[in-house]
Amino acid sequence: MEDFVNLFRAIAVNIFYIMKKWLVFITIAFLCFCSTFIVNASDSALINSDNSCNLQVIKKGEGCFIYKVKSGNFSIPIYYYLPEKLQENTKVLFAMHGEKRNAQDYRNDWRKIYKYNSEQHSNFILLAPQLEQKWFPKAVGYNLGNMFTEDLKILNPRNQWAFTEIENIFTYVRKTTKVKADKYYLYGHSAGAQFVHRMVIFMPYAHIQKAVAAEAGSYTIPDEDREYPCGLKKLSGERLSSVDLKKTFTIPMTIILGTKDNKILPPEHDSYACDTQQGSNRLARGEYFYTHVKSIAHNRKEDFNWTLKEVTATHIVANTNPPIEDPMLVSCAALEFFPKLTFVNCK
One domain, residues 122 and 239? yes
- In this structure, of 22-26, 126-130, 150-154, 192-196, the range with the lowest mean pLDDT score is 22-26
pLDDT at 49: 43
pLDDT at 27: 40
The rounded percent of the chain whose pLDDT value lies above 90 is 67
Closest CA to 152 of 275, 241, 234: 234
| Mean pLDDT (whole number) for 199-218 | 97
| Mean pLDDT (whole number) for 233-249 | 94
One domain, residues 176 and 39? no
- In this structure, of 28-37, 135-144, 239-248, the range with the lowest mean pLDDT score is 28-37
One domain, residues 11 and 93? no
One domain, residues 280 and 151? yes
Residue 20 pLDDT exceeds 50: no
One domain, residues 90 and 132? yes
In contact, 156 and 147? CB cutoff 8 Å: yes
Residue 12 pLDDT exceeds 60: no
Per-residue pLDDT band for 219 (boundaries 50, 70, 90) equals: very high
Q: Is residue 345 part of a domain?
A: no
One domain, residues 39 and 182? no
Q: Is residue 317 part of a domain?
A: yes
pLDDT at 56: 78
Q: β-strands 91-96, 184-189: how paired?
A: parallel
Give the integer Cα–Cα distance in Å for 279 and 289. 10
Give the integer Cα–Cα distance in Å for 281 and 263. 6
The total number of structural domains in the chain stands at: 2
Q: Is residue 235 part of a domain?
A: yes
One domain, residues 173 and 251? yes
Residue 308 pLDDT exceeds 90: yes
| Mean pLDDT (whole number) for 303-332 | 89
Residue 163 pLDDT exceeds 50: yes
Q: Which residues pair with 308 in a beta bridge?
A: 255
In contact, 208 and 163? CB cutoff 8 Å: no
pLDDT at 22: 36
Give the integer Cα–Cα distance in Å for 18 and 218. 73
Residue 16 pLDDT exceeds 50: no
**Phi, psi (degrees; rounded to nearest 5) at 220:** -100, 115
Which letter does DSSP use for residue 110 in this model? H
- Domain that residue 40 falls in: 1-47
Q: Is residue 40 part of a domain?
A: yes
Per-residue pLDDT band for 34 (boundaries 50, 70, 90) equals: very low
pLDDT at 282: 95
Residue 195 pLDDT exceeds 60: yes
Residue 6 pLDDT exceeds 60: no
- In this structure, of 57-66, 157-166, 176-185, 301-310, the range with the lowest mean pLDDT score is 57-66
Residue 38 pLDDT exceeds 80: no
One domain, residues 198 and 278? yes
Helix (H, G, I), strand (E, B) or coil at 94: strand
Mean pLDDT of the chain: 86
One domain, residues 32 and 141? no
pLDDT at 164: 98
One domain, residues 21 and 103? no
Residue 35 pLDDT exceeds 70: no
One domain, residues 119 and 249? yes
Residue 147 pLDDT exceeds 50: yes
In contact, 295 and 249? CB cutoff 8 Å: no
pLDDT at 70: 85
Give the integer Cα–Cα distance in Å for 191 and 203. 18
Q: Is residue 343 part of a domain?
A: no
One domain, residues 41 and 78? no
pLDDT at 9: 55
Q: Is residue 342 part of a domain?
A: no
Per-residue pLDDT band for 271 (boundaries 50, 70, 90) equals: confident
| Mean pLDDT (whole number) for 115-126 | 80
CATH code, 72? 3.40.50.1820
Q: Is residue 171 part of a domain?
A: yes
Measure Cα distances from 177 to 152, 187, 217 in Å: 38, 21, 35
Give the integer Cα–Cα distance in Å for 344 and 346. 6
**Phi, psi (degrees; rounded to nearest 5) at 308:** -115, 135
| Mean pLDDT (whole number) for 86-95 | 94
Give the contacts of 302 (CB within 8 A, at least 6 positions apart). Answer: 245, 246, 249, 250
- In this structure, of 46-60, 214-228, 302-316, the range with the lowest mean pLDDT score is 46-60
Q: Is residue 344 part of a domain?
A: no
